Amino acid sequence: RKEVEQDPGPFNVPEGATVAFNCTYSNSASQSFFWYRQDCRKEPKLLMSVYSSGNEDGRFTAQLNRASQYISLLIRDSKLSDSATYLCVVIRGGYQKVTFGTGTKLQVIP
């Protein structure tokens, strides 16, 4: 089983829709969680951290479920500019064993 797994998609959604992605991780010792966004032919960039209590940043909400070992990303009122690949990132260990998921591709359609 991969350490971090994501549905690769693509998720094709109309503008204004709400879309959710999940990411599961296999190592219960994982400590930090993030969502990154990668546009086509660009580098990954931090979208948001994921906290145990859940956190929101505008139209984006991230949640962590330690019991079931998954994190989620909810995007409300999707915009065309949200089209990208969303990478789940899991970190464990003092020297940052960093594992990226394979990414979920989102395409927002006019």
Partner 1 sequence: DTAVSQTPKYLVTQMGNDKSIKCEQNLGHDTMYWYKQDSKKFLKIMFSYNNKELIINETVPNRFSPKSPDKAHLNLHINSLELGDSAVYFCASSQVGGASTSAGNTIYFGEGSWLTVV
Nearest distance from C-beta of residue 12 to partner 1, angstroms: 17
How many whole angstroms separate alpha carbon 78 and alpha carbon 86? 14
Residues within window 69-108 making contact with partner 1, judged by CB under 8 A: 85, 87, 89, 91-100, 102-103
Q: What is the DSSP string of 44-92?
A: -EEEEEE-TT-EEETTEEEEEETTTTEEEEEE-S--GGG-EEEEEEEEE
Tokens of 45: 């960039």
Among 44, 60, 69, 74, binds partner 1 (CB under 8 A): 44
How many whole angstroms separate alpha carbon 86 and alpha carbon 105? 6
Among 10, 45, 65, 79, binds partner 1 (CB under 8 A): 45
Nearest distance from C-beta of residue 90 to partner 1, angstroms: 10
Query: CB–CB of 31/92 below 8 Å?
Result: yes
x/- letters, 20..39, toward partner 1 (CB under 8 A) = -----------xx-x-x---
**Sites of contact with partner 1 (CB under 8 A):** 31-32, 34, 36, 42-46, 49, 51, 85, 87, 89, 91-100, 102-103
